[in-house]
Amino acid sequence: MRNEFTDLSAVRSSRLARSIIAPVHDPEELYRYSDDITVEEDASISLHAATALHSKPSSIQGVPWGVKQIRAPKVWSVSTGHRIKIGVIDTGADYQHPDLRYSLARGINLLNRSLLPHDDNGHGTHIAGTIAAANSTAGMIGVAPRSLIYPVKAFDHNGSAFVSDIVLGIDWCVRNRVDIINMSFGMKTRSKALLDVVNRAYQAGIVIVASSGNDGKRRSIDYPARYQQTISVGATDKNRRIASFSNRGAFVDVYAPGDKIVSSWVQGKHHEMSGTSMATSHVSGAIALLLAKHPGLSPAEIKTLVKRSTVPLRARKTSTAKNKIRGGEIDALKLMQEGGG
């Protein structure tokens, strides 16, 4: 936990509606504040990039394969995601990157509020690039090139964060009225504080897109993607097959390209990464295209449209794969058509 308060005496000034973040040295001290207070350990939370599988410098010019595969370019004559605000809770973003010159708002650095949310890891810049890169001359084009990324730096240079950081990040997104929150991270255990603030964002009309995790599990996904208020995302490869590392099954709402994805990187570079993190950014971009055209849609309506407009996945060459395959891959063109054109 990165302390928001020095002790419990200051908690009443917190702007969080239902969650308080403060160090507690004596649990008995809590009983002075409420009879029904809920206390939980500030658990760690991890990014969903399978860097051990694929992470290497790369180069690109134009439209990456994942953006093409979900047919985003076929929507650009109708919508480019113009003015849709996307909160990316991550490691920050590279504000000097040519791909993102017109794609980044100020955002917030929760680790040092006096500084811009500069990316000292790379993961957040990669996510931002897939969603909103707009460099057709010497870089890449993201799914929704005229959407606006609000980087919310909650993860440090090692890609580490705590639930308290995420709670503060989501709360900031609610107060700043973003349209979509991209959450390319997760943990194995549930958190009431996290669920409360996710529900608050959902009730505020924010679409929450979350990665399912990289454990290759068939019947389980990470939190917060497992919360029903989110759109949970698994990863596919170029053959529209579920990536080997991706969690899958009934808890996954939609799949998207997440294997060997090249996107923007720190120091103005490009990088190839794999993970359900990368898949989630494709889904956030596709939803931005839809919302720019149909701004009145609710999170529940968008989730229904996303699930209804997928294209079938291809089974791997095993005898039982066809019986177990569930869900489909996001298709930006079908999503727009389902939403009313």
Catalytic residue among 103, 277, 281, 284: 277
Catalytic residue among 42, 48, 79, 90: 90
Q: What phi, psi does 211 have (nearest 5°)?
A: -80, 145
Per the DSSP assignment, residues forming a β-bridge with 104 are: 149
Catalytic residue among 97, 118, 123, 282: 123
| Known catalytic residue at 271 | no
Q: What phi, psi does 196 have (nearest 5°)?
A: -60, -45
Q: Where are the beta strands (DSSP E) in the chain?
A: 44-47, 55-58, 85-90, 108-109, 148-153, 160-162, 180-183, 185-186, 207-211, 230-236, 254-257, 261-264, 270-273, 311-312, 328-329
Question: How far apart are alpha carbons 144 and 286 in whole angstroms?
Answer: 7
| Known catalytic residue at 277 | yes
Question: How far apart are alpha carbons 227 and 246 in whole angstroms?
Answer: 18
| Known catalytic residue at 222 | no
Q: Which of 142, 134, 195 is nearest to 170 (CA)?
A: 195
Catalytic residues: 90, 123, 277
